[in-house]
Amino acid sequence: MLEIGKFQKLQVLEKGAYGVILDGDDQGRLLLPLKECPADTEHGDQLEVFVYLDSEGDPVPTLRRPAAQLGQVAWLKVVSVSNVGAFVDWGLTKDLFVPYAEQQHKLIEGRHTLVKVYMDNQGRLAGSTRVDHWIKDDAQGFKQGDKVSLIIADRTELGFKAIVNHEYWGLLYSNELYQKVNKGQEIDGYVKQAREDGRLDLTLSKPGFSKDRIQSVTDAILSALEDNNGFITLTDKSPPPEIYAAFGVSKKVFKQAVGSLYKQRLISLEATGIRKN
């Protein structure tokens, strides 16, 4: 069955002067314009296409890749606003409609907003900025250390809410962030803790101690000391962004590496920095 709003592979049935005919399964034969087809496309090839509906309600395949498919969230630019809704640019020739009833806040032309792609009662793809209505608090099946995709949402007193795998809410704590994040940013992260209430605590660095990981950081610290006459102006009290800028790791990992070097008596800790012994 053809899936509207999803990426899928369709077989080329024939190639003509104006495009190729794809096997749309229950939706019949679909035309992909020649200007979108790879030059070497032949009968029997499989093309990965995105399928949406045109203004007449007919399925249209495209090789263009929208910012989000059905069920996903993306940070999209508002291109026009009316009293019945707004349109946002999601990367296709046909903009995505956001009905007035699905607007959590007033949309302003030229600005960006988080949009969830859903299917309305008439089977048409549409967008919603009522992200809280779609994203769940109760996440199941996660464990510490799981790698996840994140979309940064609103800032809170504790940190930043983030959408996990387009489905669940999680939280990045401000005191553990070692790099700047912005609303709408897509970034990889990890589950720091899957709490009993189903909520997810998140981190941008992989949790857990790894000897190889720490060793790579200790090597980097020693190399930096060699390059700076045996002294660097970083300590375990340095701000996380400064540590990340120097070594690309969180403050916690940096402190573990420094502790390892100190126990081996390879460095001395001073008030203003680290000195090589």
Residue 2 within any structural domain of the chain: no
Residue 53's CATH number: 2.40.50.140
79 and 36 share one domain: no
CB burial of residue 223 (10 Å; 0-12, 13-18, 19+): exposed
Report phi then psi at 159, rounded to 5.
170, -135
30 and 84 share one domain: no
Residue 242 within any structural domain of the chain: yes
pLDDT, one tens digit for every residue, the chain (277 residues): 899 999 999 999 998 888 899 999 988 999 999 888 888 888 889 999 999 998 888 999 999 999 999 999 999 999 999 999 999 999 999 999 999 999 999 999 999 999 999 999 988 999 999 999 999 999 989 998 899 999 999 999 999 999 999 999 999 998 888 778 999 999 999 999 999 898 999 998 777 656 667 888 899 999 999 999 999 999 888 888 888 888 888 788 888 899 999 999 999 999 999 999 9
Domain tally, the chain: 4
All residues at 6 or more sequence positions from 140 whose CB lies less than 8 Å from its CB, including other chains? 198
pTM over 0.75: yes
Residue 226 within any structural domain of the chain: yes
Residue 1 within any structural domain of the chain: no
215 and 199 share one domain: no
Domain enclosing residue 106, as ranges: 73-133
Per-position b or e across 178-202, b if 16+ CB within 10 A of its CB: beebeebeeeebbbbebeeeeebbb
225 and 176 share one domain: no
